[in-house]
Structure 1
Amino acid sequence: MSRLIITFVTCFVLDNLLVIFLPIQPIVGHYMIIPNVFLICLALFTFYDKGIRPIIFACIFGLLYDICYTDLIGLYTCLFPIITFILLRFISQTMPVNLLSMMALVMGVVVFEEWFVYFIVNTMKTTNMSVMIFIKFILIPTAIFNTLITIPLYPILKSQFRKYQRQFLNEF
């Protein structure tokens, strides 16, 4: 279990480190790329644990995400468990676990998450960004970047979650 917590904390911190250390913004001009490494980790975890643990991790790290990275307390605390529930209930039961399906899943989850955040921020009138600007300069680059980040992350996370799954099954 400690290995699992370390994996989630590492992915959580990596979200911020990618923003700080990758020179994404100056290279691509006005485009804004938002790394979602933790969300990739959480989405993949739902395929290896079908119990309540993914939702618990989503709640805890959603609250931490709100405290550390956003101004709206409660946004990610609600959003991450909703995404996790949808993945657990509908998608992880039927979808195969391989690199291409995970890349497609990550693209879908990131698009859902970014649309939800944009909708909430736009509803609260804290942004004046139009939908077309949001799609062109934030949504598409973010979805592509996170899908590409899945390629090196997938084997690492898969091996960690398989070890956890084997350990968890041996306990019972």
Structure 2
Amino acid sequence: MKRYYIALICLLLLVMQGMAMSLLPSKLVYSNLLMTPHWVLLFLLIVAIFFDRDKTYFAVWYGMAFGLLLDIVYTGILGVYMVTYGLVIYVIHGINKTIHSNFIGASLLVILGIILSDTLLYVIYSFVQITSMPWGTYLILRLLPTVAANMIFFIILYPVVKDRVKQWSEVINNA
């Protein structure tokens, strides 16, 4: 039952992610900075860090499922977010074995996850010629603002869900 809560939270974040830009001041939205909310990814990275064990990959499966939903709802190319989210969560799940699961460690993993996912999305979209933004421009106008905006959301989300996700993990793994 606890795994359904994760899916419901991801669904809620998916809907809220679409409204994220309308919550920002118009001066910031209409500037040259491009910010992409990756709220579902942030939550699933927390799940990968605090819920999954060494041999469980619930976050990866959720990442692929909700990545596909993101593709269907927000993009014109199916599979881009699905593959990106699944791959990034898998990599972070592997790295998590070497880093302590505290706020600093989780923050570093989330920053790495955001950088990997957004850069991979940029590379894929460049390869299929949907974007033609030069690397330096992408780095300054998109990647850094995206990391900063998502880290603000992570700082808000972390204390709210971390303990709950750990409790769900203990309930499922002790059952």
Tell me, yes or no, whether TM beats 0.5: yes
Cα deviation for residue 12 of structure 1 reads: 2.0
Runs of 4+, deviation exceeding 4 Å: none
Question: What residue is the counterpart of 2:104 in the other structure?
Answer: 100
Find the residue that maps to 1:168 and give its secondary structure: helix
Aligned 8 A contact 1:66 1:76 in 2: yes
Give the TM-score normalised by the residue count of structure 1. 0.90
Q: Provide structure 2 residue ranges, at least 5 long, that are not aligned to the other structure.
A: none
Rounded Cα–Cα distance in structure 2 between residues aligned with 1:154 and 1:52: 20
1:6-155 residue pairs with structure 2 within 5 A?
Answer: 6-23=8-25, 26-27=27-28, 29-47=31-49, 48-50=51-53, 51-89=56-94, 91-155=95-159
Kindly report the root-mean-square deviation, in angstroms, between the aligned alpha carbons of the 2 structures.
Answer: 1.6
- 1:165 pairs with 147, 155, 169, which one? 169
How many residue pairs are counted as aligned between the two chains? 169
Rounded Cα–Cα distance in structure 2 between residues aligned with 1:147 and 1:130: 24
Cα deviation for residue 74 of structure 1 reads: 0.7
| Letter paired with 2:52 | D
Q: Provide structure 1 residue ranges, at least 5 long, that are not aligned to the other structure.
A: none
Rounded Cα–Cα distance in structure 2 between residues aligned with 1:27 and 1:119: 25
Q: Deviations over 1:82-103 (max 9, x none)?
A: 11211222x1212112222222
Cα deviation for residue 20 of structure 1 reads: 2.5
Question: For structure 1, which segment, 107-116 or 27-36, has the greater mean C-alpha deviation from structure 2 after superposition?
Answer: 27-36
